[in-house]
Structure formats: C-alpha cells, structure tokens
Structure 1
Amino acid sequence: MKQAILVVSFGTTYKEAIKNSIDATVNHIANEFKDYDIFQAYTSNIIRKKLIDRGMDINDTKTALEIIKNNGYEKVVILSLHLIAGYEYEKILDAVESYKNDFREITATTPMLYKEQDYVEVSEIIEKLYSKIDTPIVMMGHGSDHENDIAYENLQQKLDKISADKYYIATVEGNITIDDIIRKLKEKGISKVTITPFMLVCGDHAHNDMIGEEDDSWINMLKSNDIEVEVILKGLGEYKAVREFFCQKI
C-alpha cells in the first residue's frame, strides 16, 4: 500500500525561514518515516500567491491531496505544523472531509497546542530551549480572533508553573498583547528581556512586528519603556526538539 505524509504549514515568503524551519522539518519527517513519501502544502493563500509571483508554486492542501490521490496513494497522514486549532487548521479539517472517500485511510494530526499533554510537553521544550538564557523570555505568537486563541493563555499557565517570572507570551493578532507584557514587566521591575518568535518560522512578523524599525515594533516599544532587549531570531522549526515533537504527533 502506497503511503504518504502531507506536511502542511501556514507558509512564509522568507527564503531563509523556508530553508531553516519548514524544509528542515520536512526533511526531519522524511528521515523518521522512510516508509512514507513526503509531500507538503501551505494553507495561506496570500503567501502562496506571493510565492507564485516569484516562480515558486506551493500547493494548498486540497491540491496536494488531489495529486497524492492521482498518484495511487491509499493512506495519507496530514501533519499540521500549525500552533493552534484556528482558522488555518480548519482548512485542513475541511480538506480531510472533502477527500475522506478517496483514500483507504486519511487522518490529520492535531496542531501543536491541542490536548492537555501538548501544553505540558511544549512548556517543557521551551524550558529546555531557553534554560541557559539569564533574562526573561518574551515570545511573539501570531494570535487570532478565533476562540482557540486561548491556547496561548493555557500555555502561559503551564510556563508560570515552571517559572512565574521567566516566560511571557504575547501575540500580534490575539487577545494578549505586548502592552500587557510590558505592564507585567514594569510591575515586576524587570529591565532586560530576550525576545524571540513563538512561531514555526522566523518570517515577516518576527522581522517587522518584533524587531522592525517602526515605533510600534516590540523591540522599540520595550526600549521606550526603558527595558533592554536581546533578540533570538529563530523559528520553532529550527529546533530539533520541536521537530521531534511534531514527529510524535504522527
């Protein structure tokens, strides 16, 4: 029986982020699951259109499944590299529903933050990644107006149990903002932090919203509040521990 793993991410237009996070994760999956052929797709139509204009065509989930079906595969596992069960993840579920009768078996993994055990394991991974950093860590999540934006708050609770003063998650488009974190930092008298993306890739949000030159970038907002800032420009997909976590989802 021909088997395929379809690795699906939001996507990015940053070449280095594609190489360092997405491709690195896809290659990791390929090495771990040698009995499967590996395909990939992006859920963001905006990113896909921008890449097409540059001559790089990445399929959406349904197009990738159509190709997999036409090539005679009977079993498909869709690996979601999304962090929460938001709107982009729902596109994957919709694709599974559309193709459920076209394969002997088709399943999709849950996103990074879904079950209680996910929060425990991810918080432990974060602690291992940044345990040697002396300053508090401020992480930039994407965020969403989807109800599952609460996943960031749930993870924060787990991180607080590890260390009440070290880890802080805010989002670009979600409920918890950098203003909320700055207020917490000032209340605690914290004058130096390290900022880093809590996203699969170190892409547009990291380079612009986090460390951009505009006054409302996170780095400039922190500095304007007399908080010194160090930066770690690495997406989650660059860390082996995160890639192994996604392997466990399969």
Structure 2
Amino acid sequence: MISIKKLIVIVSFGSVSKLKRQQSLDIFLELISKNHPNYEVVQGFTSQRVIDTIKKNEGIEFYLPEQIVAKAIRDGYEEIIIQPLNIIAGSENEKIQELARKHNNGDNEIVKISKSLLSDTDSYEGVADAITKVISREEEEMILLVGHGSYHISDSQYTFLQKYLNNRTSSFVVGNLMGNLTIEKAIKKIKNQKVKGVKIFPLMITVGKHMLEDIGGEKEDSVKNMLIKEGFDVTFVDKSILEYHVFQQIYLKNIEEVVKKQMEE
C-alpha cells in the first residue's frame, strides 16, 4: 500500500508571548501529533505582525496559512486538514474557506477544513458544559466571559452560547469587545444579579493585547477597571481557553471527524 503525505495545519492569530505559546499552542500541537501520527502537524499564524515580531525577538520563522498550504501542495501532500482556532466561524474562517477553494479542484478536495469552536447545536452544548466545568466561582460571584466579538453575522453564535449557559446557570454572562453582546450590556446584567464579585474569564484562544490590556489591564477603560468602578471585587483569569485540556479535546474531536470522513471517502 502506497502511503500518501498528510498534513494538519493549526491556524490561529498567533501570540508574541513565547511562554503563552508554550502553555497553549505548543501543547495542543503535541496533542494532535500524538493522536494522529500519520499526519505531519504544523501551525500557521494569520497575523503578519505577530510573525514579524517573533522573528525579530526570537529568530523563529512562522508562516501564513496560505504559504503553508501552497508549499505543502508543491511538496506533494495529498491530504491537508486545516483547523482554525477560532471561537466563531467569522471573517477569518471565510478567508480559510477561500484558501481551500483556491487549491481544491472539482471533486479533488485536497484541503479540508475542520469546525470552529462554536458552529452548531452540539458545539454550543459542549462548550457550555466545558465552561461550567473548568471555571469555579465563589458565593455571590458572577463569571464574565469576554470574547473578541464581531460585526460579522456569526457574532450571533455568542448569543446561542449565552442561551445554553442560561439553561445551566444564571452565574455566567458573555460580554464582548465588539458586536451585539457588549461589555456594557454584560455589566448591566451583572448589576441586576446583586453580587459582590466578578471573575473575568477571557473567551479567547491566545493571549495578546486584548487580554492583557483591554480586558485585564490597568488602563482606565479596561474591562477590569470598568467593573471596579461599579464597585465589584474583580478577579482576572490570565489564561486562554486553549490552556485548558477540555477545550483542546473539543478541537481534537473536530479534527477526528474530518479524518474519519477522509478515510470513508
């Protein structure tokens, strides 16, 4: 039996923090490699700024997804699975879809794309379960889940997540930096709950400017300081969701579904 060259590409915005990459992305890549030894596993970043900064500071070269896929096809890879580490299937996901269309020819689909974290009913159930399991809360404390949010139509997936969380508890609220579920709306909900404390949990894949400055930073209009001004005792969780095994397992399952479908074709 002739073996074919197979590749899994893990795609994220990237992070200039070496420590945070080691705590999240690198561990996730090891998990995928261990579970899929017949595939080469690499990662690509969508941010050229992050790529350039890492090269300047660390001398390590990362590449854009389109560069990785184009080279893989030139090198003879016949199966390429892209796993976007997105929370929702928004504009970044559309770019990945376009990348796949560019390289696929009719029935010869070399490039397949795995699902984002939030994509369908099953995913809302799974993510809501994961969130309520890994995030502990004290008495008289609310959990504020802060995501990027989006002006893309897929921003509604955060609303679905909130509904599934509401079915489990009234102690978790989603508030995003942009989109429909704003931080201001989230704070209003929290105030209505008459609690003393708020724990901020970043609903993001990698640690970057948004997490360190806009959410948990000391700038006047950070989410943390907005809550402090409202009189809450605030705790900031300095971890991305990819640092939790349960979320890694969700992405792993998504990849395994694509691999299984490949084997059945």
TM-score with structure 1 setting the length: 0.94
Aligned length: 249
C-alpha distance in 1 between matches for 2:231 and 2:198: 11
Aligned to 2:51: 48
C-alpha distance in 1 between matches for 2:220 and 2:109: 54
Q: Please tell me whether residue 85 in structure 1 is matched to residue 89 in structure 2.
A: yes
- Unaligned regions of 5+ residues in structure 1, if any? none
Aligned to 2:157: 151
Equivalent positions of 1:150-189 (< 5 A) are: 150-164=156-170, 166-189=171-194
Q: Please tell me whether residue 126 in structure 1 is matched to residue 134 in structure 2.
A: no
CA apart distance, 1:216: 0.5
Aligned to 1:64: 68
Letter in 2 for 1:32: N
Among 23, 29, 33, which residue is 1:30 paired with? 33
Residues 173 and 51 of structure 1: is their aligned pair in 2 closer, same or farther, counting only changes over 3 Å? farther
8 A Cα contact 1:6 1:41, kept in partner: yes
Among 219, 226, 233, which residue is 1:228 paired with? 233
Residues 41 and 203 of structure 1: is their aligned pair in 2 closer, same or farther, counting only changes over 3 Å? same
C-alpha distance in 2 between matches for 1:88 and 1:52: 23
Per-residue CA distance 1:199-242 (angstroms, 9 max, x = gap):
01232211101111111111111011001111211101101111
Q: Please tell me whether residue 140 in structure 1 is matched to residue 146 in structure 2.
A: yes
8 A Cα contact 1:43 1:91, kept in partner: no
Per-residue CA distance 1:170-216 (angstroms, 9 max, x = gap):
11122222211111111221220111210012322111011111111
Aligned to 1:211: 216
Per-residue CA distance 1:58-115 (angstroms, 9 max, x = gap):
2111100012112221111111111111111111111101111397632001211011
Identity in percent = 29
Deviates more, 1:182-191 or 1:50-59: 50-59
Aligned to 1:16: 19
C-alpha distance in 1 between matches for 2:218 and 2:109: 52
CA apart distance, 1:136: 1.7
8 A Cα contact 1:21 1:235, kept in partner: yes
Residues 237 and 133 of structure 1: is their aligned pair in 2 closer, same or farther, counting only changes over 3 Å? farther
CA apart distance, 1:48: 2.8
Partner SS for 1:136: strand
RMSD: 1.7
